[in-house]
Structure 1
């Protein structure tokens, strides 16, 4: 395994035509430790963060902050308009 910039390691157990993603416990620039309950062949690859579902966990707080900022800006302009009127 060689770490690729902007990507995270993923490990798949390949069983014929079906693949199952394994839980990655830790990784370094050259190795990946993952959880499994049997000894078999695995495929280790690098994927973008969105494939692990982590992007949704990161995206929700960002959207929440943006909504709060937009509400605050809207409130500022409403108050400013009422003072000038």
Structure 2
């Protein structure tokens, strides 16, 4: 992915790395509250990662349905 001038590639790499960690933790058999995160949970977590808040006015790539589907497929996220 090329940089648009406003957002560099490290923005996406950080988001993907942190969301992958969040999902791995949520679905871990060692997690007593184990569950498959919903799209809304992933979107809120993305806002915390990038903006340090969960205000829905702060949009992230995870708010794009196609991006979110591609991301979940890329990490082989279990279906809900």
Give the alignment's TM-score, normalised by structure 1.
Answer: 0.28
Which structure's residues are more often strand, by fraction? 1
Larger radius of gyration: 1
Which structure's residues are more often helix, by fraction? 2
Structure showing greater relative contact order (alpha-carbon pairs closer than 8 Å, 6 or more residues apart): 1
